Structure 1
């Protein structure tokens, strides 16, 4: 007999998500993904100056800030056919790269690792000496000392003895699905606290280049507001540029010697999770880090893979590529919006229509995107597979490194077939983080070289003609493919739509009643204890959901909307 499980809200994500599952004989038979808020940003933007849209849309989320700002200015530039100075491209690229690394580090250690790591075991059963020795065997990381491990264990013991567990208060400690050795649990716990420091370091790069974080202030349609004058301390000087390079180098060591190694170790020790959480085999990503004024050459390729067939890979060249622009649609058949349509973002509407009834088939505030009329997975798996299909050398190198490290730890072989899975998303995210690091270093070198040549240009002024212009801005954000779609009429915004990664993934059923991606990937997921559905959280957290991006609540009258008690 089947049993219903409801998790509402899913915690350790940005925003609110409800997951309903039907479970029988320890497996998920069916699932529903429900976004419980409405995003009203599209309505707010109507009639505004396109040049100020980026300031507003980065308020969609308190985490995914730079990504929306970047996609927004790119959408307006695309609509106007406006070129962007290469200095501005390099500065933007370093900002999005730094944001990506901070996001990836936080996601694994703070938001997801405690799904796999038993903190109580690390505090009470691990031996700091043997744990430190094991960590030193796995990696040359400078902070894998016995002293670090002893201090961390003592800190955890104080948490437990005080009864105030802080960030670890709602974990399923002792759950039968937790199977790491206590010493490995302590290694992960030590690196949990170190990750906080290194995400802070890489966020300083965003702050120096973007003026602040979150919600950067340096963007402009046509470039950036960073003047380059090597003789003025008030501008972007060589001193500042070398400072951010130091930060990038420090974080590079953490990513390669800690983050990648920890993901490889946990992946090797949970090999069964390299099979759970698979989707329909359609993978969508877009190119990132434009290297020229027109946005046609990119440091990182993107494209579309259909039905798990790597030979089907078709590269997406830019925002102007009709293969991407023409094939994105969204459906509201099962979403709380007026109508029952499937439309292109340029002609979509965002008219809320909450009925609260099941009879009409609508059950989520998230729309349902499709590519070539089919669901597609976006995110690190899609990005890495596209780069592998494009034979992108850094992606090939770091993928091989990860698989070899997993093989040495797990004493078995692993290949790229494991990437489209719950654990594979973590593996892919760490691979992409390493690729992003290499690309950031290239952007820094390119900026320095271009400044040395005498080019200090960072901005081209936009001009808005009469009539209508349409544009799409693309960005391969940490959570996956992001696109902002704008229709400008006589210099004002007539329509604006943001199709975000968590919309692609957390969506309800689509036009043909096919499951959304979370819904699809949960089927077959094990559930050892319906009262403690840790395994469901593992798969959902592997996508790094951001429901504040997928949906957003607007109350024009102000006041309290709801009260939610979370463990």
Structure 2
């Protein structure tokens, strides 16, 4: 029997997550993913006006607010048989694209980079050599020896005060860190620059959405921001978009390449088998054909055979989740009935999570940036395939390296470039529509007495679906399957592991008391549930607890 250690809490996540792993021979040999919080928003929605659903579901999270709202209004759009106006489609796409730019930047620099970057090592760096490295690998606006010396002094001030602030709990000096001091100092500087930028990027949601988080301009039938479609508003959105895209291309992507060059072995660690994407960013009335990011399903890593994904083939089961037992159900027929007794954590032979187990044709599937990029790559996407090929060439790694923790991290950055470039075209399309006199952003409708609808989106963290049943003009049933349900769901009745459970198997762990490598794979999925990884040591009959960054 292997070692198990408790790490609690893992920060840099949203929500409440427990990951338990068993380590033997220096590697993870078993894993269990457990969601530790029950929300029950589906129950709150029952009996309410369908037009109000998006205001509730976007409160599921403080990060993924817009994405739940747009998926919800699309579900009701679908139920009432609406085709929204062109301008509404474009504005929804622009708000969604802004979410990609903001979310992926924040994830890489503030939620994931510190799994690869040793902050304290940056204190040993030579600022002149750091400046030379930065000039060689990126086109960041800030730079020079004096700049990096100032950043280094700021870090030293934290250390000397004994208060590292957000960097206080981590595994600094861990042998799994490979970046030289100069690369660590460069990354620390860009961490700070990204902090400044993310506040600017979030403003794009306020321009057409009223505010961030929880934008208010979405409605069934379109959007409500007709008065905001002025030259000044559009110019402000475009300016911030270009500022963000400049950082993405000149800092974010070079940083990914620089970090990845020292961690190529992670191109063979943390992979899964099946991948699902609903696709997103509709370009016209015909979906899924018009989607900028394509829809599809990959089975057994076969990029030569990518089938169309159909929502009718999605089910959720609760064999190992804290809900009353029942058959696997499609979301239209889904039930959210928590167990009546106190939940007991029984990972070996019982229930152990509040997360259900979604399956596509009975298969667990990874969703998210890697799934989207793999499907686009396999389909020969005109924008994404060249980006992937160029990155593989620069790193000198084969396409098989995509199926990994490293591939997942790189895919997130590459799709940010592609979506950001596409956004400029959508902005110009909006401008031309307005110049031509088209300012329509809303399509009237009547709420039916009974109907069913589905809203499929692919949001920064992965495939998101909302399903609604309208009965008597009210919500009769509402279910949504979110990306982290797909990725962090538990085992199913057949014993098939959830994607994160599968990805953790084989992960090397140099020190069970400091499982930094486990954090790398968990964080690479950008989980939106958070807060603990638990590993227990049965050999010593002891439980170790560590606070980590």
Question: Matches of 1:366 and 1:8 in 2, distance apart?
Answer: 19
Q: Deviations over 1:104-154 (max 9, x none)?
A: 0110110111111010010x2101111011110112222233232122111
Structure 1 segments unaligned to the other structure (5+ residues): 229-234, 317-323, 407-412, 550-563
Find the aligned partners of 1:236 and 1:565 in 2 and give their Cα distance.
51
Number of the residue aligned with 2:142: 143
Q: Secondary structure at the match of 1:279?
A: coil
Q: Determine the structure 2 residue equivalent to 1:271.
A: 264
Q: Tell whether the 8 Å contact from 1:7 to 1:20 is kept in structure 2 after alignment.
A: no
SS in 2 for 1:334: coil
Cα distance in structure 2, aligned partners of 1:108 and 1:135: 18
TM-score of the superposition, structure 1-length normalised?
0.91
Kindly report structure 1 stretches of 4+ aligned residues shifted beyond 6 Å.
none
Unaligned segments of structure 2, at least 5 residues: 532-544
How far is 1:498 from its partner? 1.0
Aligned partner of 1:18 in structure 2 is: 18
Residue correspondences, number? 531
Superposed counterparts of 1:111-510, under 5 Å? 111-122=111-122, 124-228=123-227, 235-280=228-273, 282-293=274-285, 295-296=287-288, 297-316=290-309, 324-353=310-339, 354-356=342-344, 358=346, 361-406=350-395, 413-466=396-449, 468-510=450-492
Q: How far, CA to CA, are the matches of 1:215 and 1:119 in structure 2?
A: 33
1-structure distance, mates of 2:107, 2:345: 35
TM-score (norm 2): 0.94
Q: 2:281 aligns to what SS in structure 1?
A: strand
Distance in 1 between residues matched to 2:98 and 2:527, nearest whole Å: 20
What displacement does 1:200 show? 1.8
Which residue is equivalent to 2:5?
Answer: 5
> Which residue number corresponds to residue 535 of structure 2?
none
Name the SS for the 2:236 alignment partner: helix
* Structure 1 residues 519-547: Cα deviation after superposition (integer angstroms, max 9, x where no partner): 11111101111111100001100000011
The answer on 1:44 being equivalent to 2:27 is no
Aligned to 2:540: none
**Mapped partners of 2:514, 2:293: distance in 1:** 40
Alignment partners' CA distance in 2, 1:287 and 1:535: 30
Secondary structure of the residue aligned to 1:393 is coil
Q: Is the 8 A contact 1:418 1:424 kept in 2?
A: yes
User: 1:69-80 maps to which residues of 2 (within 5 A)?
Assistant: 69-80=69-80
Q: Describe the superposition over 1:367-412 as per-residue Cα deviations: whole angstroms up to 9, x where unpaired.
A: 0000011001101110001111221111012213322333xxxxxx
Mapped to 1, the partners of 2:32 and 2:530 lie a distance apart of 18
Residue matched to 1:527 = 509
Contact 1:6 1:19 in 2 (8 A): no
Could you tell me which residue of structure 2 aligns to residue 232 of structure 1?
none
The structure with higher relative contact order (CA 8 Å, sep 6+) is 2
For residues 263-312 of structure 1, give each alpha carbon's deviation from its aligned partner in whole angstroms, at most 9, with x where no partner exists. 111111101111000112x1101121112246552222221111111121
Q: State how far apart, in whole Å, the 1-side matches of 2:417 and 2:120 are.
A: 31
* Compared CA separation, residues 286 and 357, structure 1 to 2 (3 A): closer
Please give the secondary structure, in 1, of the residue aligned with 2:477.
strand
Which digits, 9 at most, give the CA deviation of each residue in 1:485-523, with x for residues without a partner?
111112110111110000001111013111111111111
The CA distance in 2 between the partners of 1:395 and 1:442, in whole Å, is 16
Structure 2: distance between partners of 1:536 and 1:132: 32
> 1: CA distance between counterparts of 2:480 and 2:491?
19
Q: Which residue number corresponds to residue 85 of structure 2?
A: 85
Query: Residue 565 of structure 1: CA displacement?
Result: 10
Tell me, in whole angstroms, the C-alpha distance in 2 between the residues paired with 1:91 and 1:313. 30
Aligned-pair distance for 1:60?
0.1
